[in-house]
Amino acid sequence: MKLGVNIDHTATLREARYRGLPDGEPDPIKAALACEAAGCYGITAHLREDRRHILDEDMDRLAAALKIPLNFEMANTPEMVSKALKLLPTSVCLVPEKRQEITTEGGLDVQSQQASIARTVQELQAAGIEVSLFVDPAPEVVRASIDTGARAIELHTGAFAEGFGEAVSRRREIQRLVEAAELGHQGKLKVNAGHGLNYLNVKGMHEVPWLEELNIGHSIVAHALFVGFDVAVKEMLRLIHPVG
């Protein structure tokens, strides 16, 4: 499994003090470069419609500065599709977006938006961008994702993370992830996972087959406040690739 670090919350901290002002700190690009130097596989950033953390210029600077893959997380809107086509990141992860949510709360409702998602997938993939759909680990959503022509899915691990402290829900959620990953793999999708993963629960991902990338944000940024990004990323890498 490869590690993608989501650096959105470095921008959340900057915006808390510097909204609308130039030269704010911390600079998310500096954080991304520190994660790159620590050996992560890629960087994820979510440009939200309300620009509450990552800003348009952050995306431009990330695309210019990074040597590792940039995963552009975005809603399926004409504005964001046109941004992605200009930015040409390695990948786009399509996510649902609600204004009032604190973070991305659920997976995409692929079935009810199948035609529109399929059009976006086709447009972005024709430009050489790998498209991943952020979905709940439910068989009907994985099947609908395969039908859109997307190359990848990212399984939403939020329910797993929430239930991690309790054996029955932990087992149930792992089982859902295992079945969704199997189904995605059979449908020739690349299978990624993310949301709510941390230094404690990430070990559960070793039980899920076919996972290629884990996208982790909040927990790494929070830990980095105390130990710095170099140590925070390396500690997570050790958990993802245990030795021996």
Q: Which residues bind ligand PXP (CB under 6 A)?
A: 6, 8, 46, 73, 93, 95, 103-104, 134, 154, 194-197, 215-219
Q: Is 156 known to be catalytic?
A: no
User: To the nearest whole angstrom, how small is the minimum distance from the Cβ of residue 146 to ligand PXP?
Assistant: 18
The residue annotated as part of the active site, out of 9, 53, 73, 154, is: 73
Instruction: Report the C-alpha dihedral over residues 38, 206, 189, 48, rounded to 10 degrees.
Output: -50
Q: Residue 41: which residues within 8 A CB-CB, separation 6 or more?
A: 2, 3, 4, 68, 69, 213
User: Is 217 exposed, middle or buried (CB count within 10 Å of its CB: 0-12, 13-18, 19+)?
Assistant: buried
**Residue whose CB is less far from ligand PXP, 6 or 243:** 6
**Residue whose CB is less far from ligand PXP, 8 or 36:** 8
Is residue 9 within a helix (H) or strand (E), and if so which, with residue range?
A: helix 8-18
**Residue whose CB is less far from ligand PXP, 1 or 22:** 1
User: To the nearest whole angstrom, how small is the minimum distance from the Cβ of residue 40 to ligand PXP?
Assistant: 13
The residue annotated as part of the active site, out of 46, 53, 156, 223, is: 46
User: To the nearest whole angstrom, how small is the minimum distance from the Cβ of residue 217 to ligand PXP?
Assistant: 3
Among 70, 30, 74, 72, which residue's Cα sits nearest to residue 49? 74
**Residue whose CB is less far from ligand PXP, 2 or 218:** 218
User: To the nearest whole angstrom, how small is the minimum distance from the Cβ of residue 219 to ligand PXP?
Assistant: 6
**Residue whose CB is less far from ligand PXP, 142 or 216:** 216
Give me the half-sphere count of Cα atoms (radius 13 Å) on the Cβ side of residue 216.
Answer: 31
Rounded to whole angstroms, what are the CA distances from 87 to 72, 75, 103?
A: 9, 15, 24
User: Is 138 exposed, middle or buried (CB count within 10 Å of its CB: 0-12, 13-18, 19+)?
Assistant: middle
User: To the nearest whole angstrom, how small is the minimum distance from the Cβ of residue 44 to ligand PXP?
Assistant: 7
Q: Is 53 known to be catalytic?
A: no
Supply φ then ψ for residue 152, to 5 degrees: -145, 160
The residue annotated as part of the active site, out of 9, 53, 156, 195, is: 195
Query: What amino acid positions are annotated as catalytic residues?
Result: 46, 73, 195
